[in-house]
């Protein structure tokens, strides 16, 4: 029989904002235990105990409350946006003899040939769903990109399964790809066409300074008046 990390928990009686703040102030973390078809249970975790559990390398933990021993996995953790302290934990009960579906992170390993040729490596898929027993959940799935060349990609079909789990994702789904670096475009300088440097006045137009004498029609009128005198 496998050994499991024993995660100490206690039942939580009071709920609400005030009670939750008091817990966190004293180094405790509110948690929820749940299982399909059963009522949720409010629990309390010790922050230091949780830290040790997370660093134990285990994915399945043993908890005890109400005189019963259950096996759980951490389904979700909420963090403070500034301090990154754990604010809340969801514990999902698992049955050791029943397969489950869970998302597992993908780690890219090695230095790709295409990167050495100047290409840019992009990870398209960061996690993948697998089906397995709770005791067989891998911490992560490693994908070797060493032979990945320029303008090439790896798909789910390229994953080498080394554990007791089944990958549920589409085999054609891309995991990583290498593309040539984008060429920097030189800024386009717009040149003015000849004659566009400044607007010229039409022929005969002048500025406000040095306005011309009255129009020709006015001169003819003055001459006519002189002849009648």
- CA separation for the pair 110, 118 (Å, rounded): 16
| pLDDT per residue as tens digits for the range 164-200 | 999 999 999 999 999 998 876 666 666 655 555 555 5
- Class of 5-94 in CATH: mainly beta
Cβ contact 87:98 at 8 Å:
no
Break the chain into its structural domains and give their ranges: 5-94, 101-179
Question: What does the pLDDT look like over 92-104, one tens digit per residue?
Answer: 999 989 999 988 9
Write down the mean pLDDT value for the chain. Answer: 85
The more confidently predicted of residues 92 and 14 is 92
pLDDT for 25 beyond 90: yes
% of the chain exceeding 70 in pLDDT: 79
Asked whether the beta carbons of 40 and 34 are under 8 A apart, the reply is: yes
Contacts of 101 (CB under 8 A, 6+ apart): 129, 130, 131, 168
Selection from 103, 108, 3, 114 nearest residue 62 by Cα: 3
Q: What is the pLDDT of residue 223?
A: 47
pLDDT band at 30 (very low <50, low <70, confident <90, very high): very high
The pLDDT of residue 96 is 86
The architecture that CATH gives domain 101-179 is: Beta Complex (2.170)
Instruction: Say if CB 113 and CB 147 are below 8 A apart.
Output: yes
């Amino acid at each position: 029989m496998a050994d499991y990390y024993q995660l100490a928990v206690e039942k939580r009686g009071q709920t609400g904002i005030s009670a939750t703040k008091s817990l966190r102030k004293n180094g405790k973390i509110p948690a929820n235990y749940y299982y399909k078809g059963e009522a949720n249970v409010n629990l309390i975790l010790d922050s230091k105990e949780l830290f040790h559990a997370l660093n134990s390398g285990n994915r399945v933990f043993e908890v005890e409350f109400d005189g019963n021993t259950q096996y759980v996995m951490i389904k979700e953790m909420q963090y403070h946006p500034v301090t990154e302290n754990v604010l809340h934990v969801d514990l999902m009960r698992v049955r050791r003899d029943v397969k489950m579906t869970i998302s597992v992170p993908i780690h890219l390993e090695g230095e790709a040939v295409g990167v050495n040729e100047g290409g840019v490596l992009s990870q398209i898929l960061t996690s993948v769903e697998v089906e397995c027993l709770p005791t067989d959940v891998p911490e992560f799935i490693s994908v070797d990109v060493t032979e990945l060349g320029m303008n090439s990609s790896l798909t789910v079909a390229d994953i080498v399964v080394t554990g007791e789990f089944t990958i549920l994702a589409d085999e054609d789904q891309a995991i990583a790809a290498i593309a040539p670096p984008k060429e920097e475009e030189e800024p386009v300088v717009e040149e003015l066409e000849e004659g566009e440097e400044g607007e010229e006045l039409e022929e005969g137009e002048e500025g406000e300074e040095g306005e011309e004498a009255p129009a020709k029609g006015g001169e003819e009128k003055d001459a006519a008046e002189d002849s009648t005198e």
